[in-house]
Amino acid sequence: MAKKIDKKQFGERVGLGTRALFVKLDEQIAENPAEVVKELSHTVAMIPIAEIEVNPFQPRDQFDAAALQELATSIQTYGLIQPITVRRLSAQEYQLISGERRLRASKMAGLTEIPAYIRLANDQEMLEMALVENIQRENLNAIEVAITYQRLKDECNLTDDSLAERVGKQRSTITNYRNLLKLPPDIQTAIKEKRLSTGHAKVLAGVEDYGVQNSLFHETLKQGLSVRALESLINSYNQAQQPAKKTASKLDDGYEQVQQRFREFFGTRGVQLKLKSPGKGQIVIPFDSDGQLNDLLDLLA
């Protein structure tokens, strides 16, 4: 029978750093790899950046310099909120699985260590089961849930449909959570610290303008706005941004007289003369029933 990992000792080694974490990890992998994968799936370790090699099969090799610098500045201020994922090759050697943009930005920010989830070789099925189990835990905050959904997609190559089936959630629910990872770091931090509810966060994630989003975020915290009140503010903003309806342009006196003659002839004030350009336009003759249409035809005849 496989020996169960000592979670207390495991957690203590995580707290002591990467070196201590792997003092007896090889033995534990040999004895019970599934339990090790389960523990590693939700354990974040600090990995020396110098010990991480980029995956040679990484399809993406172009990164926007300005966006990288922006992320590096954010990391200097708030730290790296979403850990990268690496595969353990040896006690002091790792290979990047996902998060190259975050890794590059962390180097630019001057970090020497980076938070990472650690995977073992050939642990695909075990990792998927562990992450699905983790997502069912009750003490996860919304950002942790969002990160786990994103990891399942990225690391286990799941489609939206298969992911929804695995975790027993609607696709829209998963999408709403993953959208939280697009929020600025200060808003994500507020979610993790429970200063901002998941409901508020999902509403803010739907605001595309960063300046407006940030303003609404601070207003929500300052005023203690409810989710409904926040939605009302956003609706007011959206309505204010809509272009005002064009008022009907006034016709020149000559065209106004022509329009009035048409109205007298057809017996309805609904007739409109619409000009598109000098000398061009259309005559609009409304009718409310087949009988009224026949009356108009009789007048034309």
Q: How many C-alpha atoms does 22 have within 13 Å on its Cβ side?
A: 16
| Beta carbons of 74 and 66 less than 8 angstroms apart | no
Q: How many C-alpha atoms does 207 have within 13 Å on its Cβ side?
A: 27
What dihedral angle (degrees, nearest 10) is formed by the CA atoms of 28, 32, 33, 39?
Answer: -80
Q: Are strands 113-119 and 84-90 parallel, antiparallel or unpaired?
A: parallel
Residue with tokens 């962390």: 106
Distance of CA 179 to the CA centre of its chain: 2
Residue 289 pLDDT grade (very low, low, confident, very high; cuts 50, 70, 90):
low
What is the reported pLDDT for 100?
A: 85
The string of pLDDT tens digits covering residues 107-151 is 999 999 999 988 876 667 767 777 777 777 667 889 989 998 998
Q: Which of 27-36, 61-70, 164-173 has the highest mean pLDDT?
A: 164-173
Task: Please tell me whether residue 85 adopts helix, strand or coil conformation.
Answer: strand
Q: Inform me whether the pLDDT recorded for 238 exceeds 50.
A: yes
What is the reported pLDDT for 15?
A: 40
Counting Cβ atoms within 10 Å, is residue 42 exposed (0-12), middle (13-18) or buried (19+)? middle
Q: For the ranges 99-113, 114-128, 152-166, 210-224, which has the lowest average pLDDT?
A: 114-128
| Beta carbons of 204 and 217 less than 8 angstroms apart | yes
Q: For the ranges 48-62, 102-116, 156-170, which has the lowest average pLDDT?
A: 48-62
Using the 8-state DSSP alphabet, how is residue 208 labeled? -
What is the rounded CA–CA span in Å between residue 135 and residue 137?
A: 6
Residue with tokens 């938070």: 115
Residue 245 pLDDT grade (very low, low, confident, very high; cuts 50, 70, 90):
very low
Q: Inform me whether the pLDDT recorded for 267 exceeds 70.
A: no
Counting Cβ atoms within 10 Å, is residue 56 exposed (0-12), middle (13-18) or buried (19+)? exposed
Supply the mean pLDDT for the chain. Answer: 79
What is the reported pLDDT for 92?
A: 82
What is the rounded CA–CA span in Å between residue 281 and residue 289?
A: 25
Q: Inform me whether the pLDDT recorded for 279 exceeds 90.
A: no
Q: For the ranges 74-78, 138-142, 230-234, 285-289, which has the lowest average pLDDT?
A: 285-289
What mean pLDDT do residues 181-200 have? 92
Q: Inform me whether the pLDDT recorded for 240 exceeds 70.
A: yes
What is the reported pLDDT for 291?
A: 63
Q: Is the dihedral of CA 92, 96, 102, 105 positive or negative?
A: positive
What is the reported pLDDT for 288?
A: 66
What is the rounded CA–CA span in Å between residue 211 and residue 43?
A: 34
What is the rounded CA–CA span in Å between residue 230 and residue 225?
A: 6
Q: Are strands 52-53 and 93-98 parallel, antiparallel or unpaired?
A: parallel
Q: Which of 35, 51, 93, 100 is catalytic?
A: 100
Task: Please tell me whether residue 234 adopts helix, strand or coil conformation.
Answer: helix
pTM over 0.85: no
Counting Cβ atoms within 10 Å, is residue 245 exposed (0-12), middle (13-18) or buried (19+)? exposed
What is the reported pLDDT for 114?
A: 94
The string of pLDDT tens digits covering residues 4-59 is 445 444 444 444 344 444 556 666 666 777 777 777 777 888 999 999 988 665 55
Q: Which domains does the chain have, with CATH numbers?
A: 7-176 (3.90.1530.30), 253-294 (no CATH)
Does 264 qualify as catalytic in the annotation?
A: no
